Amino acid sequence: MDISKSIKLFEEGKKYIPGGVNSPVRAFKSVGGNPVFMARGEGSKLFDVDGNEYIDYIGSWGPHIFGHNPPFIKEAVLKALENGSSFGAPTEMEVEMAKLITSLVPSIEMVRMVNSGTEATMSAVRVARGYTNREKIIKFEGCYHGHADFFLIKAGSGALTFGQPDSPGVTKGTANDTLIARYNDLDSVIELVKQNKGEIAALILEPVVGNMGVVIPTEDFMNGLREICTKEGIVFIFDEVMTGFRLAQGGAQEVFGITPDMTTFGKIIGGGLPVGAFGGKREIMEKLAPMGPVYQAGTLSGNPLAMAAGFAALTHIKENPGIYDLLEEKTDRLETGFRENLEKLGKAYRINRIGSMISMFFTEQPVYDLESAMKSDTALYAKFFHGMLDRGIYLPPAQFESWFLSTALTDDDIERTIKAHYEALS
């Protein structure tokens, strides 16, 4: 496969952009080799600058649930563009978008639009702190909530401890307010709450983890978290940037039957454009300026183009609820093919899947938290990734990322992927 133009662009990009890319995973450091520079997407396919075609299983990391460049979203954006790209003033579509989100997700009584998932999670935590008049938060090892300082924290020498900065530029003072628990380990949360009684403002988690590969919570874990937060007056935040409108119309909270106090969104609500949102109980959201004292603002929040794309995406979901059955059918077919291949080849593996989110780990052990995910053979994944790339299948260039399927994938796409999977691992 010729990727000479991509190689040239990467070398040129490194002169002007740190690492040659504007988001680290794109640099292929986890799998080695040269990143592929894309030129366009259409349906289930991506096309690079050298003219190579790929069946896409990233979908821009989640938002392209309908595939690339669906006509109804393109039409909505072009129509909005005729009236202008940004006003810095409120528009009717912002109100319509808020009404639509609150109608689709019962736990959301009020919502604020922002420009990214990071903004959404950062703002949700700030509001939770303002609402409770507390400063500490609990997050989980392996859950990623964007690059705000208080999220870039890892556990210290023990799992039940104050966090330590996970990136230069994050202060120890910031880290002191972030407590780290283990995913799917309710006892670790109980101990943190006991040690910090009355000091914890919020508990935030990915209801399905997508950033250590797909990791699914147990029923007891989720129910226990809800019970603890209710009892202790802790704001329970679901980070549904990935899962929102992907797993179901009402997101992961609909799937699990759990009602969080606040929810963050991104990805699909932008229809492929940069958008985030956070919302929840009215009494919490009314703490936001200009109603309340908690400040949050954004010049491009509620951008007309992004609102048009997001409104088109969510309206399509509302009018076509069968898309989730279709996604389940396609992803189940892919998973079944993979399992049959791996059994024939005698490979040690674990496949974690929920709806149209799926990950394959090269390990014999169940994967249920960060520690178990880290046991996966990342060198084998890197080899597998390049084997698939060479066969025209575009996967996440890192073991610890979810794959995302779209309704645009055809039966032929899936069969080609299963065949490539067998060949790449043979």
What is the per-residue pLDDT for 156?
A: 40
Give the residue, 335 or 151, on which the prediction is more confident: 335
Tell me the residue ranges of DSSP E strands in 304-387: 350-354, 357-361
What is the per-residue pLDDT for 149?
A: 85
- pLDDT confidence of 168, banded at 50, 70, 90? confident
Q: For the chain, which domains are there? A: 4-66+330-425 (3.90.1150.10), 71-319 (3.40.640.10)
Q: Is the pLDDT of residue 163 over 60?
A: no
What is the helix (H) or strand (E) element at residue 112, kind and residue range? strand 110-114
Cβ contact 91:81 at 8 Å = no
Reported as a single tens digit per residue, the pLDDT across 93-152 is 999 999 999 999 999 999 999 999 999 999 999 999 999 999 999 999 999 999 888 888
| Cα–Cα distance measured from residue 316 to residue 311, given in angstroms and rounded to the nearest whole number | 8
Tell me the pairing of strands 38-42 and 45-48: antiparallel
| Cα–Cα distance measured from residue 357 to residue 56, given in angstroms and rounded to the nearest whole number | 13
| Cα–Cα distance measured from residue 326 to residue 407, given in angstroms and rounded to the nearest whole number | 7
Catalytic residues: 144, 239, 267
Reported as a single tens digit per residue, the pLDDT across 359-380 is 999 999 999 999 999 999 999 9
CB neighbourhood size of 391 (10 A): 17
In the chain, % of residues over pLDDT 90: 92
| Cα–Cα distance measured from residue 185 to residue 202, given in angstroms and rounded to the nearest whole number | 17
Cβ contact 184:217 at 8 Å = yes
The closest alpha carbon to 313, from 260, 244, 262, 264, belongs to: 244
CA quadruple 265, 267, 268, 270: dihedral positive or negative? Answer: positive
What is the per-residue pLDDT for 153?
A: 79
Can you give the length of the chain in residues? Answer: 426
What is the per-residue pLDDT for 76?
A: 98
Q: Is the pLDDT of residue 160 over 70?
A: no
Reported as a single tens digit per residue, the pLDDT across 302-312 is 999 999 999 99
What is the CB-side half-sphere exposure of residue 205 using CA atoms within 13 A? Answer: 30
- pLDDT confidence of 176, banded at 50, 70, 90? confident
Reported as a single tens digit per residue, the pLDDT across 24-53 is 999 999 999 999 999 999 999 999 999 999
What average pLDDT does range 342-366 have in this prediction? 96
- Give me the phi and psi of 401, to 5 degrees please: -140, 145
| Cα–Cα distance measured from residue 21 to residue 351, given in angstroms and rounded to the nearest whole number | 30
Q: Is the pLDDT of residue 338 over 50?
A: yes
Tell me the residue ranges of DSSP E strands in 333-412: 350-354, 357-361, 393-394, 403-404
What average pLDDT does range 287-315 have in this prediction? 97
Q: Which of 55-69, 141-155, 248-262, 402-416 has the lowest mean pLDDT?
A: 141-155
The secondary structure of residue 169, as a DSSP letter, is T
What is the helix (H) or strand (E) element at residue 48, kind and residue range? strand 45-48
Buried b (16+ CB within 10 A) or exposed e, 227-246: ebbeeeebbbbbbbbbbbbb
What is the CB-side half-sphere exposure of residue 221 using CA atoms within 13 A? Answer: 19
What is the per-residue pLDDT for 164?
A: 61
| Cα–Cα distance measured from residue 53 to residue 51, given in angstroms and rounded to the nearest whole number | 7
